Structure 1
Amino acid sequence: MPELIELAPDCRVPVLWKLSNRAKRLSLRIDPRKKVVTATLPPGISPEQAVKFLKAQIGWITKRLASLDQAPAFLPGRQIPLEGKLHTITHQPAARGGVWIEADQIIVSGAEDFISRRLTDFLKNRARLILGQELRAQAQTSGLSPTRLDIRDTSSRWGSCSSSGRIMLSWRLIMAPAPIRHYLIAHELAHLRHMNHSPSFWALVNQLTPHRRYAEAWLKQHGSTLLGAR
């Protein structure tokens, strides 16, 4: 269970401690859905050192946690981004057809209790369609061919590439603008040739997409809100 750590007067945050023999340094990440700070501790770090490190990062921690309050909520009347464009969730309980798009609205039918689930399923299916099309297009252009595409729901990673050539992408990418999706697909395609983050890997990424710098800055600012959407 997370432990409440006082970083400053009137500032206590939930922290989940994770011991790792493989970690070389103390690192932090925010779980966007649980709103918990995960602190990974390498061997030899004392509790006092860990808390001191947390207090030194109070600005980053509080800013990231505060940004999660801006995460899109799958509720009637709220707006969520779809392929980078804001759409208003409109509930039509008596309608039939599940979920569909009309202009700048996402219409959700059925009982209100099932809006979040139905909308999530709709976004996942759209992600399979759109991200699949975009991956195939970039694969054809680059000459790099993955063996399979998996669409998943992850708490911290936008994508991954296995040694067998299988690429995984988060369905939440369907909410991001096209340049962001282009960059992250290029990133995973580059791993088909370089299973690391070496200079050669980044050189290939830069060849595959012109959007790297913009996408990295955008994800740093907005990524946690998409990961926390529900």
Structure 2
Amino acid sequence: MAETLTIGAPPITVELRRNARAKRMTLRVSAVDGVVRLSLPKRGSLKAAKRFLVEQEAWLHGHIGKRPKRVAIAEGLTISLYGESFLLRTHSKSRVTLAPDTLFLPDTRPAGQALEGFIKTRAKSVITKLADTDSTTLGISFSKISLRDPRSRWGSCNTDANLMFSWRLMLAPPEVLRYVVAHEVAHLREMNHSSAFWAEVAGLMPDYEAPRRWLKSNGGQLHRFDFKNT
């Protein structure tokens, strides 16, 4: 059970994370679930933590208020998938069916569950093709690709050459997904964020800066869609 503190009116519950390497307190509001987390030194006192939180109360309320509202996956919603907009409708068939400008979801399953499965299938195909192209360009290879729904990252590359991507990137503009794939494939060559690494990314995608900025500014918006409770 995470250690917590509650401050303010209306009340704000803050999760406390003790970090042996932390030299000062750091406050963050998750763009995904709105959870407020305070990282503090291992021996930091609760009294000092609460005083710090009280000082930051106005800032906290401002950031919590900016959190994107959750959007339920339901009939009538228009959603963008890899740059194409689709209106969601339901039908009596057992499969998701794609038509021009419309996605038909089976009415026998939760809409979010059905759409998530459809997105994952398309994401695996799109991402695999992009990763194949980039790895061939670099003259290297990857072991496998997996799709997940992480809260704090969009992709990863490990020392076994396994690549992981968030399937929610399909909800972003195509160039954003393209950038994340280039980023992770470049890690197969450079497992760091050195100038040599960024040179590899630029070699794969010369105009990567714009989608990188988009992801930093708007990435949290991709998590506003609620696939689990619909």
TM range (shorter): 0.7 to 0.9
Displacement after TM superposition at 1:158 (Å): 0.4
Q: Distance in 1 between matches of 2:136 and 2:65?
A: 40
Q: AA paired with 1:225?
A: Q
SS of residue in 1 equivalent to 2:98: strand
Maintained 8 Å contact 1:26/1:39: yes
Contact 1:159 1:168 in 2 (8 A): yes
Aligned to 1:226: 222
> How many Å apart are 1:199 and its aligned residue?
2.4
Letter in 2 for 1:217: R
Number of aligned residue pairs: give it: 224
2:99 is matched with: 102
Post-superposition offset of 1:194:
1.8
Counterpart residue number, 2:16: 17
1:81 touches 1:176 (CA, 8 Å); kept in 2? yes
* Residues 137/74 of structure 1: CA separation in 2 closer, same or farther (3 Å cut): same
- Structure 1 residue identity aligned to 2:90: H
In structure 2, the residue matched to 1:86 is 85
Task: Indicate how the Cα distance of structure 1 residues 13 and 209 shifts in structure 2: closer, same or farther if over 3 A, else same.
Answer: farther
TM alignment of 1:126-145, pairs within 5 A:
126-145=122-141
Aligned to 1:46: 45
1:116 equivalent in alignment to 2:112: yes
Give yes or no for contact 2:77–2:88 (8 Å, CA) kept in 1.
yes
Q: What is the TM-score of this pair, normalised by structure 1?
A: 0.83
- Identity of aligned pairs, percent? 31
Return the letter of the residue paired with 1:177.
Answer: P
Q: What SS does structure 1 have at the residue aligned with 2:37?
A: strand
Partner residue of 1:180 out of 176, 181, 186: 176
CA distance in 2, matches of 1:147, 1:131: 14
- Following the alignment from structure 2 to structure 1, what is the Cα–Cα distance between the partners of residues 183 and 57? 29
Instruction: Note if contact 2:88-2:102 (Cα within 8 Å) is conserved in structure 1.
Output: yes
1:85-125 deviation line (CA, Å, top 9, x unaligned): 33221122x2x1421222222211223x5111111111111
Q: 2:165 aligns with which of 169, 185, 201?
A: 169
Residue 28 and residue 180 in structure 1: after superposition, are their counterparts in 2 closer, same or farther (change >3 A)?
farther
Say which SS state the counterpart of residue 67 (structure 1) adopts: coil
1:165 positional shift: 0.8
Cα 1:195–1:25 change in 2 (3 A) is farther
8 Å Cα contact 1:151-1:168 kept in structure 2: yes
Query: Aligned match of 1:216 in 203, 209, 212?
Result: 212
Per the TM alignment, residue 172 of structure 1 is displaced from its structure 2 partner at its CA by 0.8
- Distance in 2 (alpha carbons) for counterparts of 1:228 and 1:40: 25
For the Cα contact (< 8 Å) 1:127–1:171, is it kept in 2?
yes
Cα distance, 1:168 vs structure 2? 0.5
The Cα shift of 1:77 comes to: 1.0
Residue 199 to residue 51, structure 1, CA distance change in 2 (3 Å): farther
* Structure 1 residue 28, shift from structure 2 partner: 4.3
Q: Amino acid of the residue matched to residue 107 of structure 2?
A: G
Q: Deviations over 1:17-54 (max 9, x none)?
A: 22222445544444445321233323343335445555
* Contact 1:73 1:80 (C-alpha < 8 Å) held by counterparts: no
Amino acid at match of 1:185: V
Q: Which runs of 5+ in 1 are unaligned?
A: none
**RMSD, aligned α-carbons:** 2.7
